[in-house]
Structure 1
Amino acid sequence: MPELPEVEVTRRSFADRIAGARIEAATLGKPLRWPLGCAPEELVGREVLSVDRRGKYLLLNLDQGLLLLHLGMSGSLQFAPALPSPGVHDHFDLRTSRGVLRLHDPRRFGAVVHAHSLEDSRAHKLLSRLGVEPLEAGFDPVAFHRGLRQRRASIKQVLLSGDLVVGVGNIYASEALFLAGIRPTVRADRLSAARAARLHGAVITVLQRALAMGGSTLRDFSAADGQSGYFQMDAMVYGREGQPCRSCGAPIRLLRQGQRSTYFCAHCQKA
């Protein structure tokens, strides 16, 4: 699933190019996770003012309302002056005066939702429970530890939940826990202030490094300009079951938490 770095890399790859564009047509393919929320023709004539991100959602701010885009499990966006006719897995095209924005999503867990504003019930339902953005000033280590002390679930599951800190998905949760030297099965409420502060810093470091490397391309992710990410080639634990730890040489282990794969080093992450 595209995580925060992939979504932010996608945003950066087309935001400047689409800003100021006028929408000429909007077309839908097969149904996505949620309905668009308006007739596609209602979008014609509107101007794209900017593209923001909230967690794993991209927000296309229009002169009237906004579009919330989610890439789901396997989605990606493409933006180009012209594109070929939509294929079987292309489910939304936004043709503008500056190019075509296309959502490609083989598994159709992605979404494009129209809302009149951020206060609209549709936007509120999707965004209101999201946690703090980890790469913004509001991600405070003291508040982070305070939130962890209220959670009895494993620290990996708390990171994935998205309601304490948003956008730290499976890849980057595993990597941040390794960098912080914390076992992914440890209960969140048992982390000391010092260890929570170490994890806070690790989350920021890992996400910043992933952004610099264009995110992770595990299957077919690419940004809207077609560029793939290569963070996965530099991962310390994710996807490396049985391979030697880059720090101590012990074999990387795999376990399942909430139906998700967790990779860790039992020597470097003892507790």
Structure 2
Amino acid sequence: MQLTINRIDTRYVLDNEGGGPWVVFIHQLAGDLSVWDQMAGYFRNDFTVLRYDLRGHGDTTALPDAFTIDDLADDLAELLDKLGAPSAHVVGLSIGGMVAQKLAINHADKVGSLTVVGAPAFIPEDARPTFAQRAASVRENGTASIVEATLERWLTPEFRKAHPEVVKQIGETIARTPAEGFARAAEAVIGFDARDKLASVRKRTLVVAGEHDVGTPHAASKVIADMVPGAQFELLNAAHLSPVEESRRFSALLGGFLRDSA
């Protein structure tokens, strides 16, 4: 399904068989809504589940202009408005976790609870050149050129060996991501910093990190839990994509958190 959000044709999938409270899942950089397919299966009977593609990812278009993480949060706020959602439990992975934090800060009325997965509270200065280099490299060589290196960061060697079909599907999604969409999003990540407002978040908050995540070390995620009053922090035996690697543990953890947030 498609809606025009802030002049952008946005793809979304809405599963509302359960007719319960809204849950929105936000995907990672160079991903799309398919990373949440399994979670949608777990939660669709008890919740109204929304997944969508970020600007310039999957089947969502992008304007030629630069954008920020705040802009991506504004996109989600408008999408929820247009779909008639009073508010939603917000679950974000990687860049999606950055968007989730900004939604909780800038559009608190839209957020029932906040779950941040594999995301930091800010991008440190020494990490910013890495994202700039990735943006430049993808503009020159395309997203297919980063598939192998990205999969090595996102998934542990043990998982990649045991689940080649999952690895293949995620790799294909990376390769399909439009180069300019990836580059603009990577550049948006460079300027991300939520530290000055996280202490003002008054929503129940769950922060999940992967013990083997080299891209976003779990200490960087714990900063969020330390800053948001009453936040819960959980460490899973995974790399960056803990909802994929540890899907059963993640779904059980999230399910318990959402039931307690009702």
TM-score by length of 1: 0.24
Considering fraction of residues, name the structure with more helix: 2
